[in-house]
Amino acid sequence: MGTWDVGPFNNDIAADWCGDLHDTGAEQRPAFVRDTLTAVVDHGGKSLPNRLADRAIAAAAVVASQLPGGEPVVSGYGPDFLLEGGTLEVPGDIPPLALRALDRITGDGSEWRDLWQDAGCYEDAAGTLQPIRAALARAA
């Protein structure tokens, strides 16, 4: 199916990542999220692969949903434990890490950015990140 909309969970890669997060034990979820975001921030290649970006956007959206003023996860493609009323512990180092990941994803050398620009939808896709960024920035 691929990608069906611009939202943070609206692609196969993000939906699969959310399933993996759900299947991870609650005590390991913060590390799982951190590892996902770190993979983007520490990516040394010239071009950031879309698969890393899609996972990190989902991770950032999950983190933001757990912060004061963050939008709750309502997408059926989000992690089931959140849709069922569960929560995720968000250590203080994760919101600034998520912001750095989003900066990398929306910057030059990002396949995610290039794909949305080629489709003529970059402004819409980047716009979905604004409420996520706002929640993360308040916590960072």
Mean pLDDT, to the nearest integer, of 128-140?
Answer: 95
pTM of the model as a whole:
0.95
Condensed to tens digits (0 to 9), the pLDDT of residues 80-110 reads: 999 999 999 999 999 999 999 999 999 999 9
**Does some domain include residue 35?**
yes
How many independent structural domains does the chain possess? 1
Range of the domain at 91: 12-139
Domain assignment present for residue 101? The answer is yes
User: Is the residue at 41 inside a domain?
Assistant: yes
Asked whether the predicted pLDDT for residue 55 surpasses 50, the reply is yes
Q: What is the pLDDT of residue 1?
A: 47
For residue 1, tell me if it sits in a domain. no
CA distances, 120 to each of 78, 101, 105, 115 (Å) = 25, 23, 17, 9
Distance CA 133, CA 100 (A): 10
- In this prediction, residue 24 has a pLDDT band, given cuts at 50, 70 and 90, of very high
Q: What is the average pLDDT across 133-140?
A: 94
- Asked whether residue 4 is assigned to any structural domain, the reply reads no
Measured between alpha carbons, how far is 69 from 78 in angstroms, rounded to an integer?
18
Residue 7 lies in a domain: no
- Is residue 23 included in any domain, yes or no? yes
